[in-house]
Amino acid sequence: MSTTRRLPTPGKATVLALGKAFPSQLIPQDCLVEGFFRDTNCADSAMKEKLARLCKTTTVKTRYTVMSKEILDKYPELAREGSATISQRLTIANEAVTEMAKEASLACFKQWGRPAEDITHVVYVSSSEIRLPGGDLFLASELGLRNDVNRVMLYFLGCYGGVTGLRIAKDIAENNPGSRVLLTTSETTILGFRPPNKSRPYDLVGAALFGDGAAAAIIGADPISGESPFMELSYAVQQFLPGTQNVIDGRLTEEGINFKLGRDLPQKIDDNIEAFCKKLMEKAGKLEDFNDLFWAVHPGGPAILNRLEATLKLKGEKLDCSRRALMDFGNVSSNTIIYVMEYMRDELMNKEKSEEWGLALAFGPGITFEGILLRSLN
């Protein structure tokens, strides 16, 4: 176990605490197929077999979901094809994401050890709600934050939203001395829940892969006595790939949200990831070997992780934290990078000699790459 700590760089943003929260409904992957086809009143055996195959290939073991028997009993139209249900979905989602974000934030405060009143900024990330005012205001009120807390709301970024949130929180912390930024991400699949349909094959992928939950982090520079920074956000880059805006396509309709994924998504990431990572690594100085880093990668799915591992010639254990988060929670969109970082924090603390530098990566609509060069303080 690591017993010495590296000193944080003056003025650089650090991660001071992490938290997570989930809805009460836990679904083992082994039980998902029967439950999903029962809940949607679908008797198509071919689609059922396809979902069963997909559930095995995702490597997910357990997931949490807001959807429940009580919700379906109250809103049976959610399980009917062609029903205009966006209003009902948002009624459920808006309340659920705020509650989960609140619980994740409270867990974060407990780890941080300082009162909620010391939060100066909120960065709120979600692709699961639509309302005015937004969830950032409701969360600030629920947590009892000061009414002059500065709020930033990031909507509909998809899977890279958590890393975007970290980048924005970093910029705020480093440009506002003494500030403490609460980053929260909260997601539910309620907007995309619908019966299986052969004209929407990606719906089955979503049913096999995605989960619900929330995450939180507190970011600040120049830690004071009593705070325990464990990771530094050294340098951040966002980049989009021109001409790829249709590879991940999400559309909000009266029936909810529809997604389409291009089959070339893993290849597009594969073609561009090495140069992107090197751009981040250059900021650390003499880093050349990808295996000299620790890796916190958003687990969009096993295919993306496998391709990244092969392309960068990573050792087998380098993506263990990403694979573990995918296995335990599924792809929870913007939240998942925080779950990966929590596993990574624990892993680095328990190593005899841990890597100093690492990368946090996520990919999403655009195609957009988000990356942060991390420095472990453990």
Say if residues 251 and 54 touch (Cβ distance below 8 Å). no
> What residues have CB less than 8 Å from 226, skipping those under 6 apart?
113, 114
Q: How far apart are CA 56 and CA 61, in angstroms?
A: 9
- Give the residue from 104, 116, 106, 238 showing the smallest Cα distance to 171: 238
Q: 148: how many CB neighbours lie within 10 A of its CB? A: 6
CA separation (Å) from 182 to 127, 153, 240, 355?
18, 12, 26, 27
CA 120 from chain centre, in angstroms, equals 23
DSSP-assigned states of every residue in 71-93:
HHHH-GGGGSTT---HHHHHHHH
CA separation (Å) from 28 to 34, 54, 190, 209, 248?
11, 14, 18, 12, 27
Q: How far apart are CA 269 and CA 303, in angstroms?
A: 11
Q: Which residue has the tokens 């600040």?
A: 220
Q: How far apart are CA 48 and CA 220, in angstroms?
A: 48
Q: Which residue has the tokens 């069963």?
A: 52
Q: How far apart are CA 11 and CA 322, in angstroms?
A: 29
Q: How far apart are CA 295 and CA 348, in angstroms?
A: 11
| The one catalytic residue among 55, 108, 159, 277 | 159
Identify the bridge partners of residue 206 per DSSP, sorted by sequence position: none
Q: Which residue has the tokens 């990573």?
A: 314
Q: How far apart are CA 308 and CA 270, in angstroms?
A: 6
Say if residues 166 and 131 touch (Cβ distance below 8 Å). no
Query: Is 159 noted as a catalytic residue in this protein?
Result: yes
| Residues forming the active site | 159
